Amino acid sequence: MDKIKVLYVSPVSFFKGGAERSLFDLLSNEKISPYLAVPAEGELAVKARAMGIPVTVVTLGSVEKIRRPFTFSSAVLAMSDAWKAGRQLRAFCAENSIGILHTNGLKAHSVAALARLGSPLKVVMHFRDIAYTWQEKLVWRLQTLLAARAVFVSGACCPFPSLPKNGRVIPNGVDPKPPVELKVADTVRIGFIGRIHPHKGLHTLLDWVKLAHDRGTPVRLIVRGTFSTELPGYESEIKSKVEALDLNDIVEFQGFINDPNGVYKDLDVVCAPAQAPEPFARTILEPMNMGLPVIATPTGGTTEMVIHNVTGFLVQAADDFCAAVSKIHLDTAGTVKVAEEARNHVRTHFSKERLHSSVHSLYSELTANAA
């Protein structure tokens, strides 16, 4: 049987974050024949071609300038360029006998919705964000109505009271990794991983680390990631806070780590103190997959991965954090048990094999309906 042809559409040409890494998880599905559309030549195109995946460049024009929080005025101004981009997608699909468009971001969703007008194309929209404002919730609803299937990476990404008929919750997936050896030495090495933005809560974590240290738990905070360019003042705010809390000898900024495995190296625990709902953070899923304990705030899709005191530790305040770090420091057997349960939870519910199977089944539904 011929593999199902799918054109994946990315609104960016580079690795911006977890969404792009998750996109390549989809592209690696051996059950389908993937193509990739990007707005410009760049990292994504280079990697895709190295995998033998055909790439086309679709010019988004002013669509690329749309930023969250979303406004309808920006959408209206970008409509002409979105229509042109949609025509490019439709033409490429026709030339290559592709029947399914799979979009990986809000801008891509909108362009694909225009591409399907007047064509038999089936559009799968992959929602990896949480709608915060009423405007965003309305856009999510409109896009979902225009999609053949709407895929949400977690229940938290679905802004409706119940899952729509064309909706599916399909979490991200990871390949199984060998477990790390948990053997906390004199100091608990806490990792903060990923893009450094106020929503990620590093400023809160600094207060928590200070309190844990003052209460006698030896801790060290290792920050691996780069500061978001959206809020340039946040970096100076964080550095000033480190000074004010007298944490210079405890906090280390190591910058961006390009190696996906090395980013979690030499850590005893990963902390994700998000201050806004997280869709489905890879920086929680990946360490759990390695048997590395995770401390996280109970926001968004995090609670679908972290079950308190079973697969990790959910904390809402400094006292909760101090208790979790103390357990990791003093109760090795209990921590190992939590880490093992986390790995089992990931293998059962969030494997890449399960991701590929679920997505392929979805495509099969659409091609069967088209036939």
Domain ranges of the chain: 4-173+351-370, 188-349
Mean pLDDT on 245-258:
93
Can you give the pLDDT at residue 106?
85
Name which of 114-123, 297-306, 315-324, 340-349 the model is least confident about.
114-123
pLDDT band at residue 118 under the 50/70/90 scheme:
confident
10-19, 76-85, 286-295: which is most confident: 286-295
Radius of gyration over every alpha carbon of the chain, rounded to an integer in angstroms: 22
Quote the pLDDT of residue 335. Answer: 93
Q: HSE (CB half, 13 Å, CA atoms) of 225?
A: 22
Report the pLDDT value the prediction gives residue 69, as an integer from 0 to 100: 59
Thinking of the domain 188-349, which architecture would CATH place it in? 3-Layer(aba) Sandwich (3.40)
CATH for the 4-173+351-370 domain, from 3.40.50.1000, 3.40.50.300, 3.10.129.10, 3.40.50.2000: 3.40.50.2000
Would you tell me how many other CB atoms lie within 10 Å of the CB of residue 97? 7
In this prediction, residues 22-43 reach a mean pLDDT of 94
pLDDT digits (tens, 9 = 90+) for 180-215: 888 777 899 999 998 899 999 999 999 999 999 999
> pTM, whole model, 2 decimals?
0.89
Q: Do domains 4-173+351-370 and 188-349 have the same CATH topology?
A: yes
